[in-house]
Amino acid sequence: MSERADVIVVGGGIVGVSVAYAVSRLGRRVILLEERTIASGTTGASFSWLNATAKTDNQHYHALNRRGLERHLELAAEWGEDAVGLAGTGSIHWSYPGAADGGPAALLARAEKLDAWAYPTVLLDRRGLGALEPYIDFPHGSQGFLAPLDRWLDAPRMVRRMAVETREEGGDIREGALVTGFAFDGNAVVGVEAPPYSIFAPQIVLAGGTALSALSARARRSLARALPVRPSPGLLVDTLPLERAWLRHVVYFPDGAGFHMRPTFDGGVCLGADDIDAQHAGRHEDSLLTGATALLHRATDFLPDFPALEQAAAAHTRIGVRPMPEDGLPIVGPLSAVPQVYVVATHSGITLGPYLGDLVAREVVLGAQQAELEPYRPQRFGQ
């Protein structure tokens, strides 16, 4: 079956669906092809903290993330917070003298930098922390800050809502549609093969997450200088609904290993930690259980009486794999060898997805170069 579109998008995670939505809003016919179901990849297994707070190494990237967060707020204002799964009233970062993370000094320096970049923070002493998070046992000398702009998201809910809107705009989102290859006319890529479909379009956007490297190598018909996107697995635990609202914010703890928690929509909590990601990110069932149990027990270091034991058997454990570009920054733009093929990958895809979608659609549909994307071109890797 042969079909035509103005733009083909490969990948139905938050990035691909955001691109499809923005393209359809610009009045072009878009076909999105997703191998499984939308939001079933990394987007469905993400901590989904919407923030610019963690991005303080690079002011340009910080500003991009802030716009990302603001775009979520705009969509929530249009469609309703519940409909898009937006929640939260900020993130809390705290420590105390002698803590495993080295104490509050680094955090306070980060707060100062964020303030200097006009990303507000509220400094908190032990009493202030306790007022915001009454169930956390803050040791004497605890200090920290609240980043009140930050939010968190039920990402699949946002993606499903965007898909509904895309279809209403005339866009076509197909699930169970695996892209197996590309159609060429000489050296130019003119379409994709997704049996039983052959679909032709002048523009093809690859948003395949961790599959991006392999997909783009196929489009270039060369494995040389593959896009450096490394798979970075992460393990998260969602408890069942709990009797008590143990947390009110996204909270980062001073365990020296990036332990973090946030509430969930159904009244439970979601937990993760950088060291557990590194140790227990295999898909082996024992490894999942060990990782989940370790996370739940770590919660009791900070939240006395947290029901770790009873949740260990019942909690839902998920593994997600971040598409991690080599330098940690997004990769966004057309490939030099095949400019009809446009690539998008980022490890902060939940925060950035809808805003990147807008920028990408303007470039692909209107041919309007977006200066904001210049630092993130694939050409920095010799593409």
Ligand X SMILES: Cc1cc2nc3c(=O)[nH]c(=O)nc-3n(C[C@H](O)[C@H](O)[C@H](O)COP(=O)(O)OP(=O)(O)OC[C@H]3O[C@@H](n4cnc5c(N)ncnc54)[C@H](O)[C@@H]3O)c2cc1C
Q: In the complex, which residues of this chain contact ligand X (CB under 6 A)?
A: 10-16, 33-36, 40-43, 45-49, 178-179, 207-209, 211, 215, 234, 236, 272, 320-323, 346-351
- Residue 48 in contact with residue 152, Cβ under 8 Å? yes
Smallest separation (angstroms) from ligand X to the CB of 214: 8
SS3 36: coil
> Which of 138/294 has CB closer to ligand X?
294
Q: Which residue's CB comes closest to ligand X?
A: 13
> Which of 272/307 has CB closer to ligand X?
272
Smallest separation (angstroms) from ligand X to the CB of 167: 17
> Which of 143/203 has CB closer to ligand X?
203
> Which of 36/225 has CB closer to ligand X?
36
> Which of 34/154 has CB closer to ligand X?
34
Smallest separation (angstroms) from ligand X to the CB of 18: 8
Enumerate the H helices of 169-302 as residue ranges: 212-220, 274-280, 285-302
Smallest separation (angstroms) from ligand X to the CB of 330: 9
Query: Which residue pairs from 221-229 have beta carbons closer than 8 angstroms and sit at least 24 positions apart in sequence?
Result: 221/184, 222/337, 225/381, 225/382, 225/383, 227/325, 227/331, 227/343, 227/345, 227/378, 227/381, 227/383, 228/325, 228/326, 228/381, 229/323, 229/324, 229/325, 229/326, 229/331, 229/345
Other CB atoms within a 10 A radius of the CB of residue 100 amount to 12
> Which of 37/369 has CB closer to ligand X?
37
**182 CB-side CA count, 13 A:** 28
340 vs 364: CA distance, rounded Å: 9
Smallest separation (angstroms) from ligand X to the CB of 313: 22
> Which of 85/234 has CB closer to ligand X?
234
Smallest separation (angstroms) from ligand X to the CB of 174: 9
Smallest separation (angstroms) from ligand X to the CB of 378: 15
- Residue 327 in contact with residue 230, Cβ under 8 Å? no
CA dihedral 99, 103, 106, 112 (to 10 degrees): 130
Smallest separation (angstroms) from ligand X to the CB of 336: 21
Q: Which helix (H) or strand (E) holds 363?
A: helix 349-366
Query: Which residue pairs from 192-196 have beta carbons closer than 8 angstroms and sit at least 24 positions apart in sequence?
Result: 192/8, 192/10, 192/33, 194/33, 196/1
φ, ψ (nearest 5 deg) of residue 70 = -65, -35
Q: Considering only CA atoms, which of 311, 137, 348 is closest in space to residue 237?
A: 311
| 117 CB-near residues (< 8 Å, 6+ apart) | 59, 62, 63
> Which of 76/138 has CB closer to ligand X?
76
Smallest separation (angstroms) from ligand X to the CB of 76: 16
> Which of 96/355 has CB closer to ligand X?
355
Bridge partners (DSSP) listed for residue 199: 3, 192
